[in-house]
Amino acid sequence: MKKGSLLNLTVITSVFFVWAGYSVHAKELKHDATAAKQLEIIRRNLSSLTEMKSADAKKYYNEAMNDLNTLIGKYPETEEALEAKFFMGAAHNEMHNFDEAIKSFDTVLSQGDINRNFKARTLYFKAKSLLGKGDLATAKEVVAELRMIEPRAADAFGNELSGMLRIGEEAPTFNVTSVDGKPLDLAQYKGNVIIINFWATWCDPCLQEFPNAKKLYTKFKDKGVQFIGVSLDDDIEDLRGFVKQFEVGWPQIFDGKRWQGAIPSLYHIQAIPTMVLLDRESKVRYVGSDTEAVTRIVTTLLSESKDMPLFR
């Protein structure tokens, strides 16, 4: 799982957020001491999972989800039940189920008059989920709302919001060696449409999306489209085994540093799978994980003459 990830259950970017110690204080909700003890146990169990690989931790996150659902059902209309919904969003975020995470955070925020600090950290992690999903516009709106409550917490998003790739800008270049030992210089592909796929074999959403990525490759590989894989795997043998087993035909880049790797850092990758689509001039045309959107944009780009102005 990402070190310093989109959601860290033990170390929060802002000093104003701590997992325990705040009461929800929402109107018409009561406090239940028994529920509070159970919630603390679940919180501690969740905090122990942050250093585990996603595949290894998935079972335990699902167990935590069941425990949280049970607590919500057993102690409805309590502050602890609302807090449990926040933790469900937290767990969904760690598993990269960003849509579900956002739903959980929205449920908390819809409660209305809740503790200022609790609302601030819910907004904070909702913004993280939106960034993970690639919804920069909505993330900025949430950060703006957060700024009205806790400006210093909102400031923590400065680098993330400003560092993300912008559509239309020239893509950062790189010159590396691929997993099969061949030189790979992004500049050599200028004149082609380029799809850079950030992924990992430990990432369940990546594996779910892989068949679509392979169909995309098969459809366009002989039409002037260059595919490049950037693996965030820990072990190069995991990557090599997968590439061999599933006959992955495009070059792969690996440095074993996950999110701190040179190219993920260069491209400000916040979540995987993420595809970065470049046009013939190596300008960014799309950032996200929707293969249907990539197919549409690639089709449009290929239909253009090389000497035509870039479309907007």
Tokens 């592909």 locate to 189
Portion of the chain with pLDDT greater than 70, in percent? 84
Amino acid residing at 13: T
For the stretch 107-148, pLDDT in tens is 999 987 788 889 998 999 999 888 777 677 788 899 999 989
Asked if 179 and 252 touch (Cβ cutoff 8 Å), the reply is: yes
Average pLDDT, integer, range 188-195: 92
Cα separation, 79 vs 138, in Å, equals 28
Please give the pLDDT value at position 50.
Answer: 64
Please give the pLDDT value at position 21.
Answer: 43
Q: Which residues pair with 226 in a beta bridge?
A: 194
Q: Please count the other Cβ atoms lying within 10 Å of the Cβ belonging to residue 81.
A: 21
Average pLDDT, integer, range 73-79: 93
Please give the pLDDT value at position 74.
Answer: 95
For the stretch 220-254, pLDDT in tens is 999 999 999 999 999 999 999 999 999 999 999 99
To the question of domain 175-303 being in CATH 3.40.630.10, the answer is: no
Asked if 19 and 9 touch (Cβ cutoff 8 Å), the reply is: yes
pTM: 0.56
Asked if 247 and 241 touch (Cβ cutoff 8 Å), the reply is: no
Please give the pLDDT value at position 198.
Answer: 96
Choice among 49-53, 88-92, 295-299 with the minimum mean pLDDT: 49-53
The ranges assigned to domains in the chain are 33-163, 175-303
Task: Tell whether the model's pLDDT for residue 312 goes beyond 60.
Answer: no
Task: Tell whether the model's pLDDT for residue 1 goes beyond 90.
Answer: no
Q: Which CATH architecture has domain 33-163?
A: Alpha Horseshoe (1.25)
